[in-house]
Amino acid sequence: MTTNAQQLRDAFRKVSQSVVIVRTKRVEVAPSSGEPMAVVDGLGSGVLVSNDGKVLTAAHVVETADVALVEFPDGQQITAHVIGSDVRSDVALLQLTQMPKGIAPAIIGDSDKVEVGDQIFVIGAPFGIGQTLTAGHLSGRHRLNSTQNAPGVEFLQTDAAINTGNSGGPMFDMEGKVVGIVSTMMSHSGGSEGLAFATAGNTAKRLLLDRRAFWSGVDGFVVTGGLAKALNLPQPSGFLVQRIGDGSIGSRLGVNPGTLRATIQGLDILLGGDVILSVNGINIVAPNAADSFGSVSTADENYETIYNSIATLKPGDSLVVTVFREGKVVKLTTTIDR
């Protein structure tokens, strides 16, 4: 056995028990009108990173989940709830309702020390097949330029095979330390084509572990231009809400999700929900048409400013969100509870 193969085998044995399957359920509008609400199953991966039951995964796996169940390799199944999410960097933090027995958490390494060309490996559950290892190299680093309001978010590119179900799984260095959380792959076929991305471990740590994390639970997109006018918004841009995760800040605020399926310019969307106009007095702004990968967009700065305004709230502070609902501007308020 070669030295590299033996090192990979030993590293896998060291950390594999901390890697989990994340199964979610959410209730949403049925595909056809007149049908009852549909229950949608979700699937992803994650990794236990603390002795008090915290699990890192991808934001898009759990952002609007109503229920989350974490499954360990030895068969232990433990319910969890989302306590933090950052959709811009696509990372989220789950809290287990109890610690698994006999499972040691993985160690988060320093992702800044991993260099292009270094060997890495990914463990996850592609298509629900748990404990699958794929190996490759760090192919590139992509950092969104930082500003005062929008610190850099870094994504690590890899040629390790990534497929549906790998999202949220850990990328390890050869010492068995977590250096990334799998985010997405780029593919024309729908399968792995050697072009995948993971959120850098240092980014995930800074956003979710080194500061107070929170879960908005709001899924949607910014509307502007003709669509904003069609919705009669009182300002140039707003955030059209599609779905709300049960138990999230959005749910506690009473934000309304979309209720009516529609297709506009080839895009399937949900209408009938709230359009968020501002958060803590900070208006929603539209992306700049000139924005490109590798630069901080106006929307990125806007998102980071809003995120920071919520993250700095203390227990007992009020969060105020202004929405456009049925032709009226409505203010929603909730109190931060932790």
CATH 2.40.10.10, the chain: domain bounds? 3-96, 107-206
Which of the four CATH numbers 2.60.40.420, 2.30.42.10, 3.40.190.10, 3.40.30.10 does domain 218-335 have? 2.30.42.10
CA angle 210, 109, 184 (to 5 degrees): 85
pLDDT the model gives residue 296: 42
CATH number for domain 107-206, candidates 3.20.20.10, 1.10.260.40, 2.40.10.10, 3.40.50.1100: 2.40.10.10
- Cα separation, 72 vs 78, in Å, equals 8
Q: Is 167 a catalytic residue?
A: yes
CA nearest to 55, candidates 239, 178, 202:
178
Q: Which of 18, 45, 111, 167 is catalytic?
A: 167
The predicted-structure confidence for 247-260, as pLDDT tens digits, reads as follows: 999 999 999 999 98
**Residue 188 appears among annotated catalytic residues:** no
Task: Express each pLDDT in 170-215 by its tens digit.
Answer: 999 999 999 999 997 554 444 445 688 999 999 999 999 998 889 9
Say whether pTM exceeds 0.85: yes
18, 45, 89, 90: which is the annotated catalytic residue? 90
Pairing state between β 275-279 and 282-283: antiparallel
pLDDT at 266: 78
CA angle 175/50/16 to nearest 5° reads 45
Residues carrying CATH 2.30.42.10, the chain:
218-335
CATH superfamily of 3-96: Trypsin-like serine proteases (2.40.10.10)
